[in-house]
Structure 1
Amino acid sequence: MITENISTPVISHKKKLSLTINGEVKTLEVKPWVSLLDCLREHLDLTGTKKGCDHGQCGACTVIVDGKRILSCLTLAVMKDGASITTIEGIGKDGELHPLQKAFIDHDAFQCGYCTPGQICSAIGMIAEGKAKTRTEVKELMSGNLCRCGANTNIIDAIMEVQEGLTNE
């Protein structure tokens, strides 16, 4: 029996990166394999962004990067060096609720609340994309964000209210 001694290099060095998080520049060092989700939660103590599946299937980890919604569990933090990232903690201004946060409350668009940060960040990104004009389109474009409690109808109601308010302004 032939055995081969193969040594695999251990990558332990950290990468320096700069991120603008909710309007504030943060410089930190992370290992190259750290996801953006883990960077936000474990290195920056921003725990509003949730870890649901860690496979990009539930949408609980949705954040806004350079104006676009992404799944932070599928993105390495080092890939977003220099990016502007908005989490649920950064969407309100001057202590006021974001219109979507208020609409979620008004429409009882959450039950356990676990998916709510990802739902709201995804909805903000979807509205900014400008592709969803109808309730059916909103439902389709929000389908990557799961609500296991069954508040989907109320979530769509809240989004439609905010979206219609924006088009009437």
Structure 2
Amino acid sequence: MKLEFTVNDKKRVLEVAADKRLIDILREDLGLMGTKEGCGEGECGACTILLDGKAIHSCLLVAAQISGRQVITIEGLEKNGKLDPLQSAFVEEVAIQCGYCTPGMILSAKALLLENPAPTEAEIRRALAGNICRCSGYTQILRAVNRAAREGGAAI
């Protein structure tokens, strides 16, 4: 099928199978390697992207579902060589251990902050519940999201 969609503010047109997963399109066809595959079943959150501003597991979406839509990956948060405030907060709070879960965590947090720029800790925990950190960096991750919220990290 002819797939037309926007990725990180750039219009893309690709010829792909209608059932090709979005994670594979991002990584294989577009070279966007920040989106990671963990479980391939929508359980771990490593592949989280923003689809029309909502956090979605890209391993569960196929090409036919994203036609005409807007996708933001971790690469799309950085602007003009400057990290997004949420990315900076993750660095400053040392919320990155092995880093595998980090893109998904950041995008889940970004979706939350876009909807609710001043979340409570309970709301942050709920928003991140679909993301697994095997290195147990949850304390630092919570601090980073809180910090980004305080510093205005909602805008894209």
Q: TM-score range by the shorter chain?
A: over 0.9
Counterpart of 2:134 in structure 1: which amino acid?
A: R
* 1:102-139 CA distance string (max 9 Å, x none): 10011110110000111111110111122872112211
Question: Which string of whole-angstrom CA distances, capped at 9 and with x for unpartnered residues, describes residues 34-60 of structure 1?
Answer: 111111111111111000100000000
- The one-character-per-residue Cα deviations of 1:42-89 (angstroms, maximum 9, x if unpaired) are 111111100010000000000011111111001112211011111001
Deviation at 1:166, TM superposition (A): 2.5
Unmatched 5+ stretches in structure 1: 1-14
Mapped contact 1:52–1:58 kept (Cα < 8 A): yes
Deviation at 1:144, TM superposition (A): 0.5
Residue 24 (str. 1) matches residue 10 (str. 2): yes
Q: Return the match for 1:114 from 81, 85, 100.
A: 100
Q: Which residue pairs with 1:9 in the alignment?
A: none
Counterpart amino acid of 2:106?
I
TM-score scaled by length of structure 2: 0.93
TM-score (norm 1): 0.87
Q: Partners in 2 of 1:121 and 1:134 — Cα distance?
A: 18
Matched, 1:50 2:36: yes
Q: How many residue pairs align between the two structures? A: 153
5+ long unaligned stretches in structure 2 = none
C-alpha distance in 1, partners of 2:7/2:152? 25
* Residue number in structure 1 paired with 2:125: 139
Structure-2 residue corresponding to 1:152: 138
Question: Which amino acid letter does the alignment assign opposite residue 140 of structure 2?
Answer: N
2:90 aligned to which of 104, 117, 140 = 104
Question: Which 4+ residue blocks in structure 1 deviate beyond 4 angstroms?
Answer: none
* Distance (Å, rounded) in 2 between the aligned partners of 1:77 and 1:89: 20
Percent sequence identity is 46
- Give the alignment's Cα RMSD to 1 decimal: 1.4
Alignment of 1:62-141 (within 5 A): 62-130=48-116, 133-141=119-127
| Letter aligned with residue 80 of structure 1 | I
8 Å CA contact 1:112–1:149 kept in 2: the answer is yes
Paired letter, 2:56: I
